[in-house]
Amino acid sequence: MTWQPEVDELERRRALAAQMGGPEGIARQHANGKLTVRERIDAFVDPGSFRQFMGLMGNATYEDGQLASITPRAAVDGFCTLDGRKVVVTGGDFTVRGGSGGGSGGMGMEPSASRRALEWRVPFVRLLDAAGGSVRTFDEMGRTYLPDGNVGAAVDVQLLRMSPMVSAVLGSVAGLPAVNACMSHFSLMVKDTSQLFPGGPPVVKAALGYDVDKETLGGWEMHTRISGVIDNLAESEAEAFAMIRRFLSYLPSNVYEMAPRTEPQDPVDRRDESLLSIIPKDRRRGYDGHRVVNAVVDRDSFFEIAPHYGRARITGLARLNGYPVGIMANNLAFGGATDVTAGEKVIRLIQLCDTFHLPLISLADEPGFMVGIESEKRGIERAGARLVIATCESRMPWATVVTGQLYGVAGQCQHRPTGMFRRYAWPSARWGSMHIEGGASAAYRREIESAPDPEAKRLEIEARLNSFASPFRTAEATGQDIIDPRDTRPLLCEFVEEAQGILRTQLGSSPTPYHP
């Protein structure tokens, strides 16, 4: 006598689960330009590495005590490896009930995917394609229920402080999964096939009385350019999977480990000649800050985060001498001044670096906080206060290179008064409490207005003040180091190398929690 019949039953149940929502649901998924959850996992993880858990869970029907059919749960979870590193992945199965929640647990319920990631201390990746809760559940349960799902959300909050979390929006995502998209360190969506909202068009119609299509309500233009809810945009699911792999490659598996270094492919002593002329002599001219970033970091190592949102600031991850770093720069192609959206990006980068022990590099050409009526409507002062707090609370090694302007409180946020901090400046740098051109009109208003020729007087005052603006005068008084721009990369590589010893002493949870 053997247990072969029971093993055969196990295989039959696995085969039924592999059918997901059935041929019709799978065909609908493909017709919408989307892979099924199992196809996604196969395309995403290292070949043969996926090990599903809770794979037998679902709603079953029995006839004469024998299994007749089963509707699997609308998610597929498991361990896998990405580039050889263990990760937990969870994928919504839209072919089953539109990926909505359903079914019930009970005594002995297995741990959730996020809890396993927390307890194993490994990265957690969500492949989101789910509609959230459904009123169909009320029909099945014969009652409604209190929305007390924060039992699960509390685990996600803990995980944000432990291991890297990524959310990929791969279809129409609503309800709790829409919030889960934001409870991550990095998020992305796929162009034209992904939408995100707390409630879709039918809910909007019922609540507000107007019609709207899914793409207008929560498509890629809304969330990667306007709301900033999603960081990056992929052209295809394949590109989305490549982005996730690349993002994770800069980060450790958890806060108790150092970030992985790759073999350097770029000489530490490379001195890029373009840096001598990259800052325009004419301060009214803009330039693309990406050119400065790419001239300094290891070649082809820059991974930009939220490139279409808050475009006055560039934020992302890169490598210097093979070591992962966070990097940010002002982008004078978009004015460079830090507005509310750009400030939000910077705060998240500071928190990411502090959580996972990456040195932060800032290439600063900061005109100041954005002024004007629209900026006031957005609450620029509160955003500025949050940025000051995030700067002062951080503790990872931080180096700022002042390449151009550094004005006002936004300029102040390029400096940290404690911990391992280093600042260099280029000869092109100019700084102060505010721009001389605007500040002179305010500070010398009476003198200018009472002059026989107010315009000539204003220009005379500005010329006098500009004669004091050389960074060398500041260096004489304060000891500020002025460097040849071509020395920026060698000096930053040296800084990052020296930072490794400090970072090892900071392993573990950051005293300031990550807030998306």
Question: Which of 218, 202, 198, 222 is closest to 210 using CA atoms?
Answer: 202
Q: Where do the structural domains in the chain lie, given as residue ranges?
A: 34-58+73-249, 273-426+483-505
User: ∠ CA(458), CA(464), CA(465), 5° rounding?
Assistant: 90
User: Token pair 């809810």 is at which residue?
Assistant: 229
What tokens appear for 32 in the block? 């919408």
Question: Which of 393, 261, 370 is closest to 319 using CA atoms?
Answer: 261
Asked if the domains 34-58+73-249 and 273-426+483-505 are classified in one and the same CATH topology, the answer is yes
Taking the model in full, what pTM does it have? 0.92
Task: Give the separation between CA 371 and CA 366, rounded to whole angstroms.
Answer: 13
pLDDT tens digits, one per residue of 355-385: 999 999 999 999 999 999 999 999 999 999 9
Query: In CATH, which superfamily holds the domain spanning 273-426+483-505?
Result: 2-enoyl-CoA Hydratase; Chain A, domain 1 (3.90.226.10)
Residue at 286: amino acid letter: G
Question: Which of 337, 390, 343, 345 is closest to 365 using CA atoms?
Answer: 337
Q: Are strands 195-197 and 481-482 parallel, antiparallel or unpaired?
A: unpaired
**Helix count (H) and strand count (E) of the chain?**
21, 19
Q: How far is CA 142 from CA 100, 101, 145, 149, 150, in A?
A: 18, 16, 10, 19, 23
By CB neighbour count within 10 A (0-12 exposed, 13-18 middle, 19+ buried), where does 184 fall?
buried
Fold of the domain built from segment(s) 34-58+73-249 = 2-enoyl-CoA Hydratase; Chain A, domain 1 (3.90.226)
Strand partners, 303: 317
* Secondary structure class of 289 (helix, strand, coil): helix
pLDDT tens digits, one per residue of 172-189: 999 888 999 999 999 999
Q: What is the mean pLDDT of each run of 10 residues along the chain (516 residues)?
A: 90 88 88 92 96 89 84 91 97 81 54 94 95 68 74 92 97 91 97 93 90 93 96 97 98 98 95 95 88 97 97 97 98 92 97 98 95 93 95 97 94 95 96 68 76 76 71 91 98 98 97 92
What tokens appear for 515 in the block? 């807030």
pLDDT tens digits, one per residue of 3-19: 998 898 899 899 888 88
Calculate the CA 475 to chain-centre distance: 37
Q: List CB contacts of 238: < 8 A, sequence separation 6 or more.
A: 43
Quick count: other Cβ atoms within 10 Å of Cβ 374?
A: 11
pLDDT tens digits, one per residue of 417-439: 999 999 999 999 988 866 666 66
Q: For residues 116 and 53, is the Cβ–Cβ distance under 8 A?
A: yes
What tokens appear for 236 in the block? 């295809």
pLDDT at 100: 66
Q: For residues 380 and 370, is the Cβ–Cβ distance under 8 A?
A: yes
